[in-house]
Amino acid sequence: MHDKTGFSHQFPASTLREYDIRGIVGETLHETDAFAIGRTFGSMVARKGGSRVIVGRDGRLSSPAMARAVIAGLVASGMQVTDIGCGPTPMLYYAATVAEADGAVMVTGSHNPSNYNGFKMMLGRKPFFGAQIQELGRLAAAGNVEPEGEGSVEEKDVSDAYLARLLEDWEGGDRMLNVVWDTGNGAAGEIVARLVQALPGRHMVLNAEIDGRFPAHHPDPTVPKNLEQLVAAVKKQGADIGIAFDGDADRIGIVDDTGEILFGDQFLVLLARDVLAAHPGAMIIADVKASQVLFDQIAAAGGTPLMWKTGHSLIKSKMAETGAPLAGEMSGHIFFADKWYGFDDAIYAAIRVLNAVNRSGESVSAFRKSLPQVINTPELRFDCAEDRKFEVVAEVAERLRADGATVSETDGVRVTTEDGWWLLRASNTQAVLVARAEAGSAEGLARLKQILASQLAASGLAPDFSGANSGH
């Protein structure tokens, strides 16, 4: 059906990404785009027989206006909208899951700079991504939406219910932990401030005020520079652990009691051991960027490790398909289906981390030091034309197969040698190639980087590896 009002809308191609819709406010993203998303997504929900959509928003300065516009579009498509207001993305996922909503829209720029914003969606209880986002773009451009209807809006505060549910899985223990939290002026601030009042032990919350300008630091816990304030506070307080969140709290960062950063694939070992104690032999999923140490440790703890594609929507879908109780990504997305709902929730993950630390009886630094020590590069990114990036990966894979190398092609190419492994994949969201390498020694890492560099050179790229080492 075509809308009799003559609706049609063209989105800038750069905003329709693999996992969400995102752009720069006032440049590539406007309130007219938000209305069009609501109008078109509402039509997609209606065509599946649905009518109930839940909407939430983060703390960005542009989010209230963007939320109003997307709600107006949904209402014009006949949707019954529940507006849950400002809070973390996982609170929206929770609200949509327990209410068995037909759809959900979160207005959030995630960990992007303050002048960005965007939309993460669910259709039914599943992530809305990839081909579905492209389809939304095509339907909007063609004006292929349901006839204008009269929906409704109700405001509902779900924070009490969400908080109570988070606390249900707090198991406590004899240790009175001293914890520093950094919500980074992001959307988790209010929930975390209330959460710690209900937890035993000592708690300090940094940057709890929700402020879309992010005055303290950029809200991305995977970047060490953004954790400097947390590290300093952990040391000063003599804390047992530091916990950080990204702008919409679907990703977590961890700092140990000595101020050292634990990466996603390290604290996933702690969580995997904990889950496997209750579910022996269970499958635990991690993305292709994760350390071999993680996959080995899952197996050593009696689990079945599965290496899968990077991307939170892809991991969630694989979890649902396999029934895995736990999954995680290097980027700090942690997914629990054990006791939880299978979506990435950094605040819930924090509760489970504290439970695991309590149960382990050892310090977080002792746990970190007990892991096999490897040397790896951070994530290396090389500019590569959009129409060339997947071709380069395919060329590298073909050459490696011809050489008889040990290659996994789950997501790009991951090559295992006696020294360790290296990875090359095309970013789903940018015109870049992403690489990583890990070895047991500096010499081994140098050899892996040399192989990677020669493969990129063979496809006409000249990578720069300066400063590309880190230990963990």
- Check residue 302 and give its pLDDT: 98
Contact, 309 vs 410, CB < 8 A? yes
8 Å CB contact between 293 and 472:
no
- The pTM assigned to this predicted structure is 0.95
- Protein fold of 263-372: Alpha-D-Glucose-1,6-Bisphosphate; Chain A, domain 3 (3.40.120)
CATH 3.30.310.50 fits 375-471, yes or no: yes
Q: Which amino acid is at 344?
A: D
Q: What is the C-alpha to C-alpha distance for residues 123 and 299, in angstroms, rounded to an integer?
A: 34
pLDDT tens digits, residue range 374-406? Answer: 999 988 999 999 899 999 999 999 999 999 999
Catalytic residues: 110
Please work out, in degrees rounded to the nearest 5, the angle formed at the alpha carbon of residue 423 by the alpha carbons of 417 and 429: 175
**Structure confidence by residue, pLDDT tens digits, 283-300:** 999 999 999 999 999 999
- Please, are residues 93 and 341 in contact by the beta-carbon 8 Å criterion? yes
C-alpha span between 122 and 102 (Å, rounded): 8
Shortest CA distance to 86 belongs to which of 49, 116, 61, 111? 61
In this structure, what DSSP letter does residue 260 have? P
Burial of 465 (0-12, 13-18, 19+ CB in 10 A): middle
Name which of 51, 166, 30 is nearest 103 in CA terms: 51
CATH class, domain 13-158, is alpha beta
DSSP letter string over 278-304? HSTT-EEEEETTS-HHHHHHHHHTT-E
DSSP bridge pairs for 380? 435
Beta bridge partners of 205: 181
In DSSP notation, 48-59 reads: TT--EEEEEE-S
| Structural tokens at position 412 | 């790009």
How far apart are alpha carbons 453 and 432 in whole angstroms?
Answer: 15
Query: Phi/psi of residue 434, each to 5°?
Result: -115, 135
Topology match between the domains 177-259 and 375-471: no
**DSSP-derived secondary structure letter, 387:** T
Please check whether residue 436 is in contact with residue 408, taking contact to mean a CB–CB distance below 8 angstroms.
no
Q: How far apart are CA 188 and CA 159, in angstroms?
A: 11
Q: What is the rounded CA–CA span in Å between residue 126 and residue 31?
A: 26
Please list the ranges in the chain whose pLDDT falls under 50. 1-3
Residue 454's contacts (CB-CB under 8 Å, 6 or more residues apart) are none
Domain ranges of the chain: 13-158, 177-259, 263-372, 375-471
Query: What Å distances lie between residue 451 and 16, 39, 424, 425, 460, CA to CA?
Result: 35, 50, 11, 15, 14
Amino acid type, 80: Q
| Tally: H helices and E strands in the chain | 14, 23
The Cα–Cα gap between 205 and 262 comes to 19
Q: In one letter, which amino acid is 338?
A: D
> Between 63-76 and 31-47, two packed helices, what is the crossing angle to 10 degrees?
40
Query: Containing H/E element for 257?
Result: none
Class of domain 177-259: alpha beta
Residue 180 DSSP one-character state: E
| CB contact at 8 A, 138 and 145 | no
